[in-house]
Amino acid sequence: MSAIQIIPLNFYILLSAILFSIGVMGVLLRRNAIIIFMSIELMLNAVNLLLVSFSSYHSDGAGQVFVFFIMAVAAAEVSVGLAILVMIYRNTKTTDIDFLNKLKG
């Protein structure tokens, strides 16, 4: 029995649901683009927690492979997204998404 299997699976599901809900609320309620990026990362990590816990309980490595891909996508998102936000901040001096919505062509 591994260390992750000592804790019941329902606790991981509950914690993941709570983290995902906090991420959704952050995306929906906050106006700062950086906070929205952090909320998306929180949602991705909630999914990673679920994948690792189910993978460990079922002794299947496929979930951990998916976690690796999710982490790679998250790293790419952060690098590209933050580069775009830095350039927008240099030009507009704000990261408020209501102001950024006015940048439509």
pLDDT in tens, 43-78: 999 999 999 999 989 888 888 899 999 999 999 988
Q: Between these two residues, 19 and 59, which has the higher pLDDT value?
A: 19
Per-residue confidence (pLDDT) for residue 50, from 0 to 100:
94
Extract the tokens encoding 19: 């983290």
Interatomic CA distance for residues 29 and 22, integer angstroms: 10
**In DSSP terms, which residues pair with 32 in a beta bridge?**
96
Reported as a pLDDT band with limits 50, 70 and 90, residue 41 is: very high
Give residue 105's pLDDT band: very low, low, confident or very high (50, 70, 90): low
CA-nearest of 49, 48, 87, 55 to 69 is 48
Encoded tokens for 71: 């982490």
What number of CA atoms fall less than 13 Å from residue 67's CA on the CB side? 17
**Which residue in this structure is represented by tokens 């700062």?**
32
What is the pLDDT averaged over residues 18-23? Answer: 97
